[in-house]
Amino acid sequence: MGLQSSGWKRGVHLEPQEQDDLLEHGHRHGCGSRNGHSGRIFGHQHGEGHLSIDYYAYSSEMRPWNPSFKIVMSVFFLICVIAMDSMAVSAIVLFTMAALVMFKGKLGVRRYLNLMTLPFIFIALSSAAIAFDFSLAPKGEYCLHLGFFYISATRASLISTAGLVLKAFSAVSCLYMMTLTTPMGEIVGFFRKIHMPKILVELMYMIYRFIFILLDAQRRMSVAARSRLGYCDRKTSWYSFGRIFSNLLIISLKRANAYYDAMESRCYDGDLRFLEDEKPLKPSLTAGAVLFTAILAGVWYFTR
């Protein structure tokens, strides 16, 4: 177990067998990753208990890969998807990044699809607004009459929407490839290496951590309300909902003060530092990335 010299949390390094045992324990008891702040369980729910993104990153079989390589590769292929603007390229990147996380990283198909649920909702709503048009008179190649108005669409708008949906999912898959295989401490270390302003790096990390603090506070209050029949009917549910979110700010401020005191007690001096493992870049990974880039360039050239 490695300890950071100062900062928000202690870095935890688990051997593969310990990771498997912790993962199995989390599924049996409906809990998630052990956050380094004080041993509490933080996370968000995606249909399989409260499992945090950091938990998946620490458990990933791709964690031993060089973190700078994973981050640069994710951003680079995200730029390729946007710049090439090709449905074929977007589809290849989407399935390749998803396959890496699910099969090489051993995340699992069901967990990955659960993580895709939230972006799917946003993408579906946004794409529907682009694909369909509302009018008082029929127009376009496809029309649906609903009372006094029509929902219409054209072949061009549907094709454009399909391309946009593929591009959006490809972008999400690239970012998931980075976040689900690279712990946050390594991402912070990469930003330090490229000399990103320290204030931006620390704000990013603290905001990221406080998201889970808020989620944990909300989860605990929801469990307490449910144990007291706070959701027995619609009226009581709305009352419990309002009470929980009215108290959330106060509780989060108290926890923020407590965590800041904990940071200072561990010699926090305004700079977050993490103990990082040496992970050399393997030539095979570089060769694979170059080959995949060449394949994307070829597909883009012959399908443009």
User: Is 130 a member of any domain?
Assistant: yes
- Greater model confidence, 24 or 222: 222
Residue 1 has pLDDT above 70, yes or no: no
User: Is 292 a member of any domain?
Assistant: no
Residue 26 has pLDDT above 70, yes or no: no
User: Is 24 a member of any domain?
Assistant: no
Amino acid present at 251: I
| Residue from 32, 75, 31, 25 nearest 53 by CA | 32
* Summary mean pLDDT of the chain: 79
Check whether residue 100 and residue 129 sit in a common domain: yes
Q: Which of 155, 183, 211 is the last residue of a domain?
A: 183
Lowest mean pLDDT among 4-13, 101-110, 139-148: 4-13
Residue-level pLDDT at 37: 37
**CB neighbour class for 177 (10 Å; exposed up to 12, middle 13-18, buried from 19):** buried
Residue-level pLDDT at 51: 54
pTM above 0.85, yes or no: no
User: Is 37 a member of any domain?
Assistant: no
* Residue 139: domain span: 48-183
Residue-level pLDDT at 24: 44
**Number of domains composing the chain:** 2
Q: What is the 3-state secondary structure (H, E, C) of 119-174?
A: HHHHHHHHHHHHHCEEECCCCCCEEEEECCEEEEECHHHHHHHHHHHHHHHHHHHH
Strongest mean pLDDT among 11-25, 124-138, 192-206: 192-206
Check whether residue 244 and residue 179 sit in a common domain: no
Q: Which of 157, 183, 209 is the last residue of a domain?
A: 183
Lowest mean pLDDT among 2-16, 50-64, 95-109: 2-16
Residues near 101 by Cβ (< 8 Å), separated by ≥ 6? 60, 62, 107, 112, 173, 176, 177, 180, 181
pLDDT (tens digit, 9 = 90+) per residue, 126-176? Answer: 888 888 887 777 777 778 878 778 888 888 888 888 999 999 999 999 999
For tokens 């009372």, the residue is 147
User: Is 123 a member of any domain?
Assistant: yes
Strongest mean pLDDT among 52-61, 156-165, 181-190, 294-303: 294-303
Residue-level pLDDT at 198: 84
The mean pLDDT of 210-217, rounded to a whole number, is 82
Total Cβ atoms within 10 A of residue 216: 22
User: Is 248 a member of any domain?
Assistant: yes
pLDDT (tens digit, 9 = 90+) per residue, 186-200? Answer: 888 898 889 888 888
Check whether residue 100 and residue 156 sit in a common domain: yes
The mean pLDDT of 55-84, rounded to a whole number, is 92
